[in-house]
């Protein structure tokens, strides 16, 4: 079964700057390399996407494209 992790910020502000989320995908948190679905709810908005994840030492940063739907 895939691991689930929840991130509940108290506020959201949009910037052009990169900001680390603090979520760490590693084996101690139940993650394995593979494909993961992402869903983020913010008020009446839902953001979703998929990400290919490699668990282990990496030396690159990557972005995940999200689709937005809602009012």
Quick one: CA dihedral 36, 65, 38, 22, positive or negative?
positive
- Distance from chain centroid for Cα 14: 16
**Residue 48: which domain range?**
27-57+66-70
Q: Is residue 37 part of a domain?
A: yes
Q: Is residue 7 part of a domain?
A: no
What domain count does the chain have? 1
Q: What is the pLDDT of residues 9-56, one digit of tens each?
A: 666 676 777 766 666 777 888 888 888 888 888 888 899 999 888 887
Judge contact between 50 and 63, C-beta under 8 A.
Answer: no
Q: Is residue 22 part of a domain?
A: no
Q: Is residue 33 part of a domain?
A: yes
Q: Is residue 52 part of a domain?
A: yes
pLDDT, greater one: 58 or 39: 39
Query: Minimal CA–CA distance to 46: which of 22, 13, 18, 68?
Result: 68
Q: Is residue 41 part of a domain?
A: yes
Give the pLDDT score at 3: 58
Both tokens of residue 23?
Answer: 């979520």
pTM score, whole prediction? 0.53
Q: Is residue 42 part of a domain?
A: yes
> Strands 45-53, 67-70: parallel, antiparallel or unpaired by DSSP?
antiparallel
Distance CA(36)–CA(63), nearest Å, equals: 14
């Amino acid at each position: 079964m895939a691991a689930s992790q929840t991130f509940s910020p108290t506020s959201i502000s949009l910037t052009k700057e990169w900001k680390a989320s603090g979520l760490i995908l590693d084996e101690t948190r139940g993650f394995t390399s593979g494909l993961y679905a992402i869903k983020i709810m913010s008020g009446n908005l839902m953001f979703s996407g998929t990400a290919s994840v490699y668990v282990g030492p990496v030396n690159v940063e990557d972005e995940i494209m999200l689709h937005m739907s809602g009012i």
